[in-house]
Amino acid sequence: MVSVSSGASAVFGIGMIKDKDSFRNIGLIGRPDRASVVDTLNLLEQYLLQEGLTVIYDEGTAALMQREGLQVCSRPLLGEVCDLVIVVGGDGSLLHAARALARYKTPVLGVNRGRLGFLTDISPDEVITKVAAVLHGDYTVDYRFLLNLEVRSNGNPVGEALALNDVVLHAGKSVHMIEFELYIEGQFVYRQRSDGLIVATPTGSTAYALSGGGPIMHPKLDAIVLVPMHPHTLSSRPIVVDGDSEIKIRITETTLRPLVSPDGHSGISLNAGDWVYIKKHPFKLKLIHPPGYDFYAACRTKLGWGSNPIKGDE
């Protein structure tokens, strides 16, 4: 383990943590393509070690640090050995981490080094203050469900993945419409020709689904939204369904090989006659927010909504 000087408390100006029983082993994950991430990781590591906590990096982040003497393990194992994982990067970095950590119910805290930052809600200039508050027990817990994606061809499973934001059916690199049938809870909904379909969680409703014209859903909702992508009809609109619904999509006639992609990752290739199954994953992401978190304030900041109300209006 990397050592730090005994005078670090004076440097940070933060009181020593009195109750460290909840969070003793802290995992650190960083976005690999941002040099600024290293600065924040170094700052976090110094503070956490000063507090007598154990710092463990996943393998990719350890390589980014380019230092010897770090405690390292694989990302899936990180969820098993850590009491808290701090992700430094953008929402995409947290999406990566969520898929590996959700099954372990490991709390995840996000530091924003990306763009919007709906999930990574701590700014770099307040990272030590906010992390210290969390370690002192001043935080709220937010449970976010994931989607399980399975593709079957001729009745046989050919691909499976998890998504925190969304599962997207699309034409891939080609600019062509695809044709598919949609079923919800075994009931036929429609056959559609369009550029595809976005199936999003409340977490993903502020991501790709929003740009496709879908509604913003509060993170506490137990619901899934289905947003058509440029449908070849004027009557097709987004549909919000119960979060426990099983969604099935059958690819009908196509000259293409459309793809279905979880959270923007490399897609699973589809053929005519293939089925896509989407349903809620049994494990949820345990997302931690520091004091002062407000979903609507995040919407105002990230989406450019109106300013705060004038005092005395209520």
Please tell me the distance from the alpha carbon of residue 181 to that of residue 189, in angstroms, as a whole number. Answer: 8
Q: DSSP state, 185? A: T
Whether 91 sits among the annotated catalytic residues: the reply is yes
| Neighbour tally for 125: CB within 10 Å | 8
**CB contact burial 250-261 (16+ within 10 A = b; e otherwise):** bbeebebbbbbb
19, 58, 83, 91: the catalytic one is: 91
Is the Cα torsion angle 104, 34, 201, 301 positive or negative in sign?
Answer: positive
Pairing of strands 275-289, 140-153: antiparallel
Nearest to 90 by CA among 45, 125, 124: 124
Phi and psi at residue 251, to the nearest 5°: -80, 125
Residues sharing a CB contact under 8 Å with residue 90, sequence separation 6 or more, in sequence order: 31, 112, 113, 114, 115, 116, 117, 120
Residues sharing a CB contact under 8 Å with residue 96, sequence separation 6 or more, in sequence order: 29
Q: Burial level of 229, CB count in 10 A (0-12/13-18/19+)?
A: buried
CA within 13 Å, CB half, 72: 12
Nearest to 174 by CA among 196, 152, 159: 196
The H-or-E segment that residue 210 falls in is helix 208-211
Residues sharing a CB contact under 8 Å with residue 246, sequence separation 6 or more, in sequence order: 184, 185, 186, 277, 278, 279
Known catalytic residues are 91
